[in-house]
Structure 1
Amino acid sequence: TREYFRDVYDHMIQTLDRLDTLREVSAGLMEVYLTVVSNSLNEVMKTLTVIATIILPLGLIASAYGMNVAFPGKEDFSGFIVSLVLMGIVVVVMVMFFRRRKWL
């Protein structure tokens, strides 16, 4: 019976070793999965940051026209056109900058 118990003990040790190996493999797979998810989230955050950065100056220009203070061009239609052209130029310059840096 001792030989039988030794054999059972050896099988148990082998099974525990396999279990430890599988545990390490599954931990490694989980680590890889979390890395992929993190990289995907970083790409989404980068895109959202670029979009917010492009919209920020447009909001600043538009808010200047929303203030109750007099400044040149506010009362004329030409001032509105100038502000739209300025916003367009800002957007084009920022998009070109972000594309050159390969952020967009």
Structure 2
Amino acid sequence: MFTGTVTLKWSAGNLNHITDDIDVPIYEDLDVLEMEEREKVVRHMWDVYTHSQRIQLPRFWQVAFEAAYEDLASGEPAVREAAVSEIAKMSIRIVDLEPPPRQHSR
């Protein structure tokens, strides 16, 4: 079985300036269900990134996918999954998956 880790080329996309402004710790022991949900979001956003020319993704996704493009486009499933997991972990600090509360009109 092939296992490994991926170090995304953040300098290529320079995500450092995005994460430097946020004072939220990265959790070592992440909730498995939340990570699965975030990985689904990463895969969906990657699909949008690679197949839609009309939709402009938020900056986080653009920069993350540019930095990880080679790994996400890899023919090796373990490399792709490691990149998806890494982006999902980073999204905890930046991307809120909860929709905003609905405004009740009066």
More helix by share: 1
Q: Pick the structure with greater CA Rg.
A: 1
User: Would you call these one fold, judging by a TM-score over 0.5?
Assistant: no
Question: Structure 2-normalised TM-score?
Answer: 0.26
